[in-house]
Structure 1
Amino acid sequence: MLKRIWLIFGPVFWGLILAVAIIFFYPVKIDHSQLSELVDATSLTKDNFKSGDKKVRALSDPTLHFVPFFGSSEWSRMDKMHPSVLAEAYQRSYRPYLLGQRGSASLTHYFGIQQINSQLKDRQAVYLISPQWFVRKGANASAFQNYVSTGQIVDFLQQQTGSPYDRYAAKRFLRLNPDTIFTKMMEKVAKGKTLSSSDKENLVLQAKIFEKVDVFFSQFRFVNHQENIILPQVEQLPRKFSYEELEKIATQDGQYSSTNNSFGIEDEFYNKRIKNQLNYIEGSQKNFTYVQSPEYNDLQLVLNVMAKNHTDVLFVIPPVNSKWAAFTGLDLEMYEKSVAKIKYQLQSQGFDNIADFSKDGDKPYFMQDTIHMGWNGWLAMDKSVNDFISQERPAPTYRINDTFLTKEWARYEGDPSQFQP
């Protein structure tokens, strides 16, 4: 009987011993490793996305200039013209640190930024902002829950000051993730109340636990896109950099990879995701709108924290595949209206660095699938990104306008320049 009990509970006991050992005895220090950081920068795993240790280590490395690239699922489209491939192939002065997963949007990135505020101060960042994020209901709850970590929540709670932005962020958190051990603290923040001394002590303990566990598990890697995807792609590019030559290769790759459909979509994506669903998809997006969404308020959270950190940001706005939009009935005038609203929110507050590709969805081999850039699209983006990061420019001057945090702005459908809250 004792043997049977041990077989059942023994692993649990040793698991608890290991956890306690990690919490109390595992050393916390930053050991820079270019190889490890390059692997982390392109791994695109959920664990990497949530880890504070991996991001801080790479973004604070003085020998490699990592630049955070915020976005969503587009970063996984790793063809020869992908930002990480070109940066590696031509030994750019920077390396992209890819932050984004399917379903991640501004609220997810806002909480992720809590871990790297120090690494964003007076630095640069690239933020791909897709109009497809701006659906009526805003961020997807399951995706948000999947990507937010204990460390991010603790960092947010420890840094909150009772501002309208803190209150709004806490309310959005509770709406999308209402049942956590931090719910009562989030409710206090949402109501503008001060956290108690016991709350703060609890947060200190939680921070120490997360930091130890995060550092321990950061040493393990199960995905190596750097070795398996990035470097093999690099070997296929010309050694001498030339946009003209790269455009030829991008066009050839696009032609070769999209032969089985009339949309210019990559063959494998078409076969897996679209081919058997055409009858259901045709006309399915005719009632879509990206003009009214809480995502505009979530974006304001990001803009406010970027302004506080004096982060110089290049915003990239991708297009949608024009042929696909025509097939699904997506209203491109509505799409352009949402882009105009996004750009007004950015530019009126001093975020003037915008690479707008929203009208390029009909260009040959610009889109790899229905909504994600690839081939010539990546190359067009690279011209803007490389110029932004490589060229010296005056520090930005931001003018944060809190009215963009209101429900009235999220619901506004008129001329953005005429908005009156």
Structure 2
Amino acid sequence: MKKVQFFGMITAIFIFLLALYLPNSFYELFITKERLNNTAASLNPKTFQGTLLQDKMLTDPKFLPIFGSSELARRDTFHPSRFFMGEKNEFTPYLIGRGGSQSLVHFLDLASLGDGIKNKKIVFVLSPQWFIRRGINNTHFSPNYSALQTYSFVLNNTINRSIKEQAAKRLLTLSIIKKDSLLVTQLKALTSTNKKIKFKAFVEKPLAYTYFKILEKKDLFETVIMDPDKNFHLTKSKYEDLPWNKVAKAADKIGRSQSSSNHFGINNKYYKKYIQNRLVTFKNSKRNKSYSVSPEYDDLQMVLAVLKQEHTKALFISVPVNGPWYDYAGFPKKVREVYYKKVKKQIEDAGFQVADFSSHDYDKFFLKDTIHLGWKGWVYVDRSLNKFYSVNQTPPTASLNHNRY
């Protein structure tokens, strides 16, 4: 009887270890195209804080990953996820990010994907408000932090050593990282020459790897087995079959009617809820602000470095701010121009394309509020995405300029 129990226990342990250490590629076999379509626009944090669904998505050239932040949730009729839904369209946008998902968050995601992004096309939407003087703080980083992606980054030996060291130093400044002693040891070993720290990291590495495998299986359970997005659906835009100039006119008309209560071109509902009764308090409220100096530039440089290492073909979308509103708030155009030019040069110097829409910050209905794309802005972005996806080329150095149709 004891032999039978012992054999049963050994078998159970073997099955557990087999399930734990099976590669993700095995589980990807059970992820269908329908499952990926359901998650493509859901903006479920479990989806983009994991790796399993993204790994599978990247094997299908019909998906175009779009990394961004809160603008991705503005899914009006001109939003890419609704605009590119027809059978004639060649690609499906796959949204990755939410409010607070800035360069450092996306760096960890991209680094965790590794070879998955090699020679693939991705889109990266830049928000000017990321580039404040303090950069991303714990309030915005913590809810978007993925332990799975961070452990994947730490344990990935193919990432350039200098990139890993820079990222490790940056991560060690954040409070949520400091709470994970196992991770802290691994990060410190990347930045230190101290033999005791390196030996401790070496000893603990099997534990770190086992925890990483547990996080992978948690990702499997939450995103594939539970299938949280099975009932998520969007309605198709009725404008996608029109010529681009007519789509832009339709966006202009809708924007005009939906922002009739103010001269800033801000959506009526947003203006009434957040601005109307406090308008006077916003006057010159940004007069001492600037987007020209920020840790965000270094975080963005890490994104550029990992994309360059993987020969990823990336299009960066440079989103403007609402010019009339920023003028009212005391943040003049000449100060905004410093950011627009600086970030564009940084990206182009790394060899990537920029769809530069900075000249549209006075264009009515380009944004839906003070900072988020909407109406006509999405139309210009849609056109850039369509062109970028359709052109088969090596990682470019020239800038796209879609200032006019």
TM range (shorter): 0.7 to 0.9
* Residue number among 112, 116, 124 corresponding to 1:115 in the alignment: 112
Question: What corresponds to 1:74 in structure 2?
Answer: 71
Whole-angstrom distance in 1 between the partners of 2:317 and 2:331: 21
Q: Report the CA distance between 1:338 and its aligned residue.
A: 1.2
Secondary structure at the aligned position of 1:51 is classed as: coil
Letter in 1 for 2:74: R
Q: Would you say the 8 A contact 2:186–2:205 is kept in 1?
A: no
Q: Report the CA distance between 1:251 and its aligned residue.
A: 1.7
Give per-residue Cα distances to partners, 1:11-66, cap 9 Å, x unaligned.
Answer: xxxxxxxxxx98875886112322221121111122222011121122223xx611
Q: Would you say the 8 A contact 1:121–1:309 is kept in 2?
A: yes
Give per-residue Cα distances to partners, 1:248-277, cap 9 Å, x unaligned.
Answer: 321222122212222111122222322233
Letter in 2 for 1:159: N
Deviates more, 1:43-52 or 1:291-300: 43-52
2:166 matches 1:168 = yes
Give per-residue Cα distances to partners, 1:338-378, cap 9 Å, x unaligned.
Answer: 11111221222222x11110120211211111011111111
* Residue number among 201, 204, 207 corresponding to 2:206 in the alignment: 201
Whole-angstrom distance in 1 between the partners of 2:326 and 2:382: 25
Give per-residue Cα distances to partners, 1:181-215, cap 9 Å, x unaligned.
Answer: 31222222232564643222112201210111110
Give per-residue Cα distances to partners, 1:369-400, cap 9 Å, x unaligned.
Answer: 101111111111122221111012234479xx
Distance 1:268 1:285, change over 3 A: same
Whole-angstrom distance in 1 between the partners of 2:106 and 2:82: 23
2:55 matches 1:50 = no
Secondary structure at the aligned position of 1:203 is classed as: helix
The 5 Å alignment of 1:110-259 reads 110-160=107-157, 163-177=161-175, 178-181=178-181, 182-191=183-192, 194=198, 196-219=201-224, 220-222=226-228, 227=233, 230-231=234-235, 233-234=236-237, 236-237=238-239, 240-259=241-260
Give per-residue Cα distances to partners, 1:310-335, cap 9 Å, x unaligned.
Answer: 00111110111111111111122111
Whole-angstrom distance in 1 between the partners of 2:78 and 2:39: 19
Secondary structure at the aligned position of 1:42 is classed as: coil
Question: What corresponds to 1:391 in structure 2?
Answer: 391
Q: Can you give the 5+ residue segments of structure 1 that lack an aligned partner in the other structure?
A: 1-20, 399-421
Q: Report the CA distance between 1:222 and its aligned residue.
A: 4.4
Q: Would you say the 8 A contact 2:135–2:294 is kept in 1?
A: yes
Q: Report the CA distance between 1:91 and its aligned residue.
A: 3.6
* Residue number among 103, 106, 120 corresponding to 1:106 in the alignment: 103
Deviates more, 1:72-81 or 1:144-153: 144-153
Whole-angstrom distance in 2 between the partners of 1:312 and 1:192: 35
Question: What corresponds to 2:402 in structure 1?
Answer: none
Deviates more, 1:254-263 or 1:375-384: 254-263
Q: Can you give the 5+ residue segments of structure 2 that lack an aligned partner in the other structure?
A: 1-14, 399-405
TM-score, normalised on structure 1? 0.82
Distance 1:162 1:65, change over 3 A: closer
Whole-angstrom distance in 2 between the partners of 1:344 and 1:141: 28
Whole-angstrom distance in 2 between the partners of 1:192 and 1:155: 22
Q: Would you say the 8 A contact 1:367–1:373 is kept in 2?
A: yes
Question: What corresponds to 2:351 in structure 1?
Answer: 350
Question: What corresponds to 1:5 in structure 2?
Answer: none
Letter in 2 for 1:113: L
Question: What corresponds to 1:405 in structure 2?
Answer: none
State the percentage of identical aligned residues: 31
Q: Report the CA distance between 1:77 and its aligned residue.
A: 0.8
Q: Would you say the 8 A contact 1:322–1:361 is kept in 2?
A: yes
Distance 1:188 1:171, change over 3 A: same
2:284 matches 1:283 = yes
Distance 1:254 1:211, change over 3 A: same
Distance 1:366 1:162, change over 3 A: closer
Q: Would you say the 8 A contact 2:51–2:112 is kept in 1?
A: yes
Deviates more, 1:306-315 or 1:82-91: 82-91
Letter in 2 for 1:147: N
Question: What corresponds to 1:340 in structure 2?
Answer: 341
Whole-angstrom distance in 1 between the partners of 2:262 and 2:90: 39
Q: Would you say the 8 A contact 2:112–2:150 is kept in 1?
A: no
Distance 1:337 1:225, change over 3 A: farther
Q: Report the CA distance between 1:309 and its aligned residue.
A: 0.5
